[in-house]
Amino acid sequence: MKRFYRLPVSPGTQTGLSLIELMIALLLGTLLTVGLVQVFTSNSQSFRYNESSARALESGRIAADILSRAIRNAGFFGCYPINGITNNLDNSDSEYDAVRHGFATLGVSAVGSERPGAAIAGTDFFNITGVRRPGAIVKLDADMTATNSILLNDAGGLSVNELAFITNCEQGDIFQISSLTNPGGNIQITADDTAGVNGSGSPGNDLSGNVPLGCTTAGSCLSAVYQRGTELFQPFSEAYYIGNATDGGTSLFMRQASGVNIELVAGVEDMNVRFGEGTVTTGVQNWRAASAVTSWDNVLAVEVSLLVASPNDNIMDSAQAYCFPGWEDCVADASKLTTAADRRMYRVYTFTNALRNPF
């Protein structure tokens, strides 16, 4: 049998880790942890930066698309009547609003009286008027009689108290739909002079000045007795502006003719607009701010510059300097640069659109 003997250990012999080895291990572990934290923080910041850039790009693109489409279609009134448009809305009614019901300026405008009350001070706005189809092609199914009743092939998206526009290329009428019935399979729209419902934003109609050829009852007709096949549209007056959003930020808004404000795109901080005046033969000759426009009928194009900001702060290492509006030459004159008050990401989007329906 073999025997094993344990060598005696002197009191001065070390067992386990020394203090230096432990400190080195702790140091290496700390360095590794710090490295991992730095990698995580860097990736997180990179993700936040890319996300903010994508959000700003998306907001700018959508806002530009909405406004471009609105500007291009401004002033469309179907087959525009050569004798002008008769506005039959009752301007003596308490529900009448000159901005939303007057249609004094056709196409695009930015008159001070049209400015939405919810627009942020210092930002620009513009107003668009025109007509659009009510979801379907709506035409007269029969000649009008000497009354104010209109028989249609289909009511489309039309409803009671909404505005309607009818034109035969010679005459044109804007009126409020006061009732809808369906006799004999046809939709009947009656434009009468009944006062609007208080609080509804509906002024009703005043037909007292209309005595067209073929109208047997003065004050009960539109400006013309329209024939079968004449098309109906929905007139609109919409204002685009920058307002305060419910989440505390700012957004691009649209005010409808009904007075309802709709939030369109979040993150739009500011909007600057200028208008190109000229003639159809010469084209745009001068770019002017709204206050300097000499005649809105001579506006052929609109240039819009949007300032879009990321939703989150502390994205940039320092406050960003940006050039707004986009038509400023900040390279030649650095004093035109604006330094942000926070560290959000800012982007400027500038675009120009010609009106397809200049007057």
Residues 6 or more apart whose CB falls under 8 angstroms from that of 214 comprise 146, 225
Q: What is the mean pLDDT of the chain?
A: 85
- In the chain, what percentage of residues exceed pLDDT 90? 42
Residue 299 pLDDT level (bands cut at 50, 70, 90): very high
pLDDT of 277: 95
Buried b (16+ CB within 10 A) or exposed e, 157-191: ebeebbbbbbbbeebbbbbbbbebeeeeebbbbbb
Distance CA 310, CA 316 (A): 10
**pLDDT for position 106:** 80
State yes or no: pLDDT of 19 exceeds 80: no
Give the separation between CA 316 and CA 343, rounded to whole angstroms: 5
pLDDT of residue 199: 43
Count the neighbouring beta carbons within 10 Å of the beta carbon of residue 208.
12
pLDDT digits (tens, 9 = 90+) for 110-147: 998 889 999 999 999 999 999 998 888 888 888 887 66
Residues pairing with 339 in the sheet: 321
Whole-number pLDDT of residue 358: 67
Q: For residue range 261-275, what is the model confidence (pLDDT) as tens digits?
A: 999 999 999 999 999
Rounded-to-integer distance, Cα 289 and Cα 305, Å: 12
Query: What pLDDT is stored for residue 44 in this prediction?
Result: 66
CA 347 → CA 59, 211, 310, distances in Å?
10, 56, 9
CB-CB contact of 264 with 254 (8 Å) = yes
pLDDT-derived band at 101 (thresholds 50, 70, 90) equals confident
Query: Closest Cα to residue 302, out of 129, 100, 61, 126?
Result: 126
The model's pLDDT over 159-191, given as tens digits with 9 standing for 90+, comes to 888 889 999 888 899 998 887 776 555 666 766
- Concatenating the DSSP letter of every residue in 166-217 gives EE-SS-EEEEE--EEE-GGG-EEEE---PBPPTTTT--BB--TT---TT-SS
What are the structural domain ranges in the chain? 51-354
Query: For the whole model, what pTM was predicted?
Result: 0.80
